[in-house]
Amino acid sequence: MGMKKRFFVLLVSLLFISHSWAAGIKLADIQLVSDNLGKSIVITTTGNVNYKWFLLTDPNRLIVDLDDTHPQANLAKLNFSNTPIKSVRSGIQKNRVLRLVFDLNYSIKPQVASQLLQDGSKRIMIVLEGKANFLQMTQTTAEATSHSAKAIQTTSSTKPVMSLPAQGRRKVVVVIDPGHGGKDPGATGVRGTREKDVVLAISKNLAVLLNNTPGYSAILTREGDYFIELRGRLKLARKDKADMFVAIHADAYINPEARGSSVFALSAHGASSEAARWLAERENYSELGGVNLNQLNDKDNMLRSVLIDLSQNATIGSSLQLGSALLNSLGKFNRLHHGKVEQAPFMVLKSPDIPSVLVETGFLSNPWEEQNLRNPTYQQKIAGALHQGIMDYFSQNPPEGTLLALTARPQRYIVARGDTIASIAQQFRTSVEALKTLNNLRSSAINLGQVLLIPSNNHAY
């Protein structure tokens, strides 16, 4: 999933040039505002910029980083008399980050809020001293723009918090599809056990486990005994913007001795037929892996075909990897019918850009497995194995823009002039010892330009 996403984003960038740097986000204005409540800095950018801020000591500095932003505002016009600020400077860091450095006369405990205005610009207010009055942000600056309290996000404390972009806070979405339902009972065991009942119970158990796991959100395609047509299940996954689709079934076979769990991913034949359908039906010209196919004109069917093929190939690869993780987890307590992921043209696996698997939990046609599958404790064990397999997969393939991606890998930081290991530890709210251990440092000495890994559990979000 991770490799697919990076490749796809690169391709889309080349095709549509959608990066915000190309769009030209600019630092439009900086103002110092003094009123009866205190003193504040108000930064205005021409677009919805991602930003972070932090404090440094020895000497005291307030740092504001603006992603992909061009410097435009005249910093020389600012008058810092009777404020904590001594001076301000700016520079472009690596990865096109505009860094503003406010040199301070003494230490402060700022409070920060941001507001997206109706014209698409963004305003960041930093209260240096006094009481925060964020609801008056637009009234304390030259441009009065209507706003609502909902548009303002404030930090929960006065501590220097790394303000991550909103898209970096979402949970991984797993859509769980209990097979059959309603008029379609699915397979039936010799003791009358119906597949639709067994798989709904297992699916509900799995949903509870995932929803109780930080960073995950589970959605069931059905929560009761009713029927949903197969393509409707795919539509639900797309509607909920799923990162993963897991269909839960229970098998049956003419040989009552057949037993064990299986996992299926989409076959090449199934992928080809679905690609042809996407090309033939214009209603499918919607977002596919981040690409809006409607942006291509009628002459671009070849490009559409290439994009769909790329997405499907990457998705099948991710599905096979997911299936292997599930099989490995299931195999720790249950017999496997096949030791590797099988491939078939099942309809519910045909989403071109959502890793999808179908799990056959066991054979209702086998009397011993039927007895297990109707047992609530065994159902919980299967759900637990699937839960572990899903977590194992996402630990290696966290979707970009999720909390899981932020906490799954350490952040990299390039040592700048004036940095010390103590100031970096303070900046990222970690300890010097944690930094030294993660980076195999024997002393606290660091060098300009050195790349340090930051412990992932010290992201603030």
Instruction: Write down the domain spans for the chain.
Output: 20-163, 172-396, 410-458
Q: Which two tokens stand for residue 133?
A: 């009055």
pTM, whole model, 2 decimals?
A: 0.53
- Residue 367 confidence class, pLDDT cut points 50, 70, 90: very high
| Nearest CA among 263, 279, 236, 275 for reference residue 344 | 263
Stronger pLDDT, 234 or 177, i.e. the higher one: 177
Mean pLDDT along residues 394-403: 81
Q: What is the pLDDT of residues 421-440, one digit of tens each?
A: 888 887 777 778 777 877 77
Q: Which tokens in the block code for residue 411? A: 């952040």
Buried b (16+ CB within 10 A) or exposed e, 14-40: eeeeeeeeeeebbbbbbbbbeeeeebb
* Structure tokens, 132: 């925060």
Both tokens of 368, joined, read: 């011993």
Selected residue with higher pLDDT from 431 and 12: 431
Fold of 172-396: Aminopeptidase (3.40.630)
Contact 272, 372 (CB under 8 A): no
Higher pLDDT, 348 or 118: 348
At 126, is the pLDDT very low, low, confident or very high (cuts 50, 70, 90)?
A: confident
| Average pLDDT in the chain | 75
- Ranking 115-129, 272-286, 406-420 by mean pLDDT, the lowest is 272-286
Single-letter amino acid, residue 362: G
Residues near 384 by beta carbon (within 8 Å), at least 6 away in sequence: 205, 209
- Written as one string, the DSSP assignment of 403-457 is HHHHHHS-EEEEPPTT--HHHHHHHTT--HHHHHHHTT-SSS---TT-EEEEPGG
pLDDT at 457 over 70: no
Tell me the average pLDDT across 162-166. Answer: 35
More confident residue, 89 or 13: 89
Q: Which DSSP state fits 302?
A: H
Torsion over CA: 117, 121, 124, 125 (sign): negative
Residue 399 pLDDT: 85
Least reliable range by pLDDT among 86-90, 271-275, 323-327: 271-275
Residue type present at position 228: I
As a whole number of angstroms, the distance between CA 117 and CA 13 comes to: 27
CATH of 20-163, one of 3.40.190.150, 3.90.226.10, 2.60.40.3500, 3.40.50.920: 2.60.40.3500
Q: Is the pLDDT of residue 174 over 80?
A: yes
**What's the pLDDT at 162?**
32
Give the per-residue pLDDT at 136: 40
As a whole number of angstroms, the distance between CA 176 and CA 204 comes to 9
The residue that leads in pLDDT, 400 or 30, is: 30
Q: Are 177 and 67 in contact (CB under 8 A)?
A: no
User: Which CATH superfamily includes the segment(s) 410-458?
Assistant: LysM domain (3.10.350.10)
pLDDT at 18: 39
